[in-house]
Amino acid sequence: MYADYAETVLQDEGSQLDAYLPLVKRIVRQLSSQCAAVIEREDMEQIGLMALLESLRRYGVPDERFAGFAVLRVRGAILDELRRLDWRPRAVRQDAHKVRDGLRELTRKLGHEPGEAEACALLGLSAQAYGHAMQAESAEAMASLDELLAAGHEPGGMSRPDEALLDRLSLAQALRLLDEREQRVIQLYYEFDLSLKEIALVLDLTEARVCQINKAALKKMKMRLAA
């Protein structure tokens, strides 16, 4: 009897994994555009599937909220592995922080936030170097927001995450703090799984500008979610 029960559980888990496999593949596609040189897509999918299986076992019977819970767990597991591999070398992080500090100083001196061309001219950067710095800063902010959201979605004694925490930490609630363009950037990234490069094409903006908008939006959301 126990063997039959165990077999049924395994069959159910297999069916559920198949049902949510597209979710894993979307997350991997999104993240692989930023770290393809560090980890193979197949390895990312394997990590994502293991995180999905863990999510199913921790959550209980999937309902309409499970997908949001699983997204955070899967993304978090892949990001943990990327951090372990040091996917953004120290030199890249340092360069990004220098650009960030330079932009802050320029904003203070000019009285306004400089655009890409103005920033490149005043900081002595090429458009490519500026774009890479913006991407690195944005990736760091995204990972930070993922950690904050995931912390609020841990299951407690119940079979699924606490409803009050889910409501408090919902992206829909935080999105109301943003202006229209910031909302579109966040929604395209999280809801439609577009890469920053794809978002730039959709909104007819430079990738660096999308990074700036994204970072400003995430800062607002993190302040709200941490309150």
Residue ranges, CATH 1.20.140.160, the chain: 91-227
- Please state the φ and ψ torsions of residue 124, each to the nearest 5 degrees: 70, 40
Question: Does residue 48 carry a pLDDT above 90?
Answer: yes
User: Is pLDDT at 87 greater than 70 in this prediction?
Assistant: no
CATH of domain 1-87: 1.10.1740.10
Separation in Å, CA 187 to CA 11, 76, 153, 163, 225: 35, 19, 19, 22, 17
The whole-model pTM stands at: 0.51
DSSP letters along 137-153, please?
A: HHHHHHHHHHHHHHHTT
Topology given in CATH for the domain delimited by 91-227: Butyryl-CoA Dehydrogenase, subunit A; domain 3 (1.20.140)
Strand ranges for the chain from DSSP E = none
Q: List, for residues 112-171, the tens digit of each pLDDT value.
A: 878 888 888 988 988 888 877 776 766 666 665 565 555 544 444 333 444 434 444 455
Region(s) of the chain under CATH 1.10.1740.10: 1-87
